[in-house]
Structure 1
Amino acid sequence: MNPHDDEELLARRFDADRGHLRAVAYRMLGSLSEAEDAVQEAWLKLSRADVGEVRNLSGWLTTVVGRVCLDMLRSRGSRRESPLEYYVPDPVVRVGGGADAAAATDPERAAELGESVGLALLVVLETLSPAERLAFVLHDMFAVSFDEIAGVVDRSPAATRQLASRARRRVRDASPGPAPDARRRRELADAFLTAANGGDFEGLLAVLDPDVVLRADGGRLMAGASKLVRGAETVVAQALAYSRFRKASLRVVANGDPAVLSVVDGRPAALMVFTVAGDRIVELHILADPERLATLGLTEEELARAE
């Protein structure tokens, strides 16, 4: 076969796996831009490799992306700009008005990246060691065998199994519990916003879990907005901080959870994402980082729907 034909065939096979690889990288890194970088690095490695004897190219690419992400996680600690305490992972946002919100510009990409992994889980994954995160994500989320993962983390399969087990316990212990259906989650989010906008503290307490956690990430440019607040009464006392959402706002879905996006002068100004368990809001994630908000990928037409 012509070498050029070989290259085109390889490119087509890679494109067929691109969505899966992007989903792996996003869960490993919690960053959309870094996930894209990891997928691109996997393509470069594939284009330089002799894969003639590889029987399962999709599996091979999955472990390659895992190894790339592992290296990125290991080098990340020393250069993280936002303290982990305040860090809000990159959200995958789609626009819609209700529980069955219509997808935004690229619904397939939104689904493959974020619908099955909420921000609350991504926050917990940030607390794992790089090797624990790799073992958990590849095995528990993508059914990669421990024998395959062991080669990536340079440990025995038994030791790799222990990595995943420790990660699984931490994820389980931090889980907020079962959530109601999407419509009820949106009702609680709307009730919170109505109460906050009206200064109805009792209304806020009625929808908040007593141990609710609010995490706000302002990034490099809005570092003063970064905070971690615990407890319903303390969160209610911060109600004035929600004033930005009284202006033009857009009901959206972020990683499968109800959210609201504040829009100022046609640009995203802040995103608030609600995590619900039982029948109460248990976590609030606010992304106020202008640099990352600018990369949400929403169109001018979608942002113009803010009211």
Structure 2
Amino acid sequence: MKKILKIIVINTILIFVISMAFSLEINNKSLQRKCQFLKETYGELAVVITNPQNGNINFIYNKNMLFNRRYCPGSLLKPFTILTISQNNKINTEEKHTCPGYQDPEDIGCWLGVGHNELNLYGAISKSCNYYFYKFVENKLQKKDYFELMSRLNLVKNINYDKITNKEFYKAAIGLDVLIQTKPIDVIFAYNCLFNDGKLFDSTQNFVTNIDFNDYVLEIIRMGMHEGYLYGTSKTIYEKTKLPDLIVKTGTGAGTKYGLYDWTKNVGWVMILSPSQNPTFSMLVIVEKSKSSTACEVAGEIINFLLKKYNTN
């Protein structure tokens, strides 16, 4: 009973904090100072907070990074492969693959050196397993369908996919290449679109279009993201904040050098939405020359800053 009451109290606090976040000015001075401190600690970074339901941008730190630079989103691309495949295939959440880690004779590899062992789809989303997703999309993901969806979400433009091999395509589609590079501001609106009944807004906060998604598949993605928040790649945020009702996706994208991808210049991402159903708060954090774990550290600190600021005033 005490545990249930604690969850209710925490959820009530979170809803209050979210409502306060709506009143943030885009250049909110105290949060700007906090982000500047985090930049000095973790490196070049950007933060954007929005309301997924109406497209409002409630806070921006480092507008240049968000609106003018392009980065590979890494594993943030993985949910879009599931949605694309679902157009022509039934998604089997119990499809299993065994991740070998770095030691992969097929040169796919995974970010976790020792491997993730056997995973189903929920576990693969939670752990963001590269090997699983490569096997999941192999021979199922169609270039035309994938890039049409990505184009509708304003994540790609004018990619000549006919000239890339299937293996190059599969790796790029799950975030293991730099073929797909996007503006961070477009990424947050694409994710918002998944969880706001398909309403796509643009960087000027204007409504663009409505996109129909498979509700069953969205629920798979939602559950995988929540599992990732509690136990997977973004559990650092849960450990820092103890908030129960967030869904989170992480990504580490390669940087570029002389037009080729360079993993020494990678970029860390984390995308957060709350509450998990009909979210009214979303935040994207991106950190240059880092991994998603760094972005999660930054995000956790920002959420705790908001909790402290609005729960004590």
**Band the TM-score falls in, shorter-chain normalisation:** under 0.3
Larger radius of gyration: 1
TM-score, structure 2 length as denominator?
0.26
Which structure has the higher relative contact order (CA within 8 Å, separation 6+)? Answer: 2
Structure having the higher helix fraction is 1
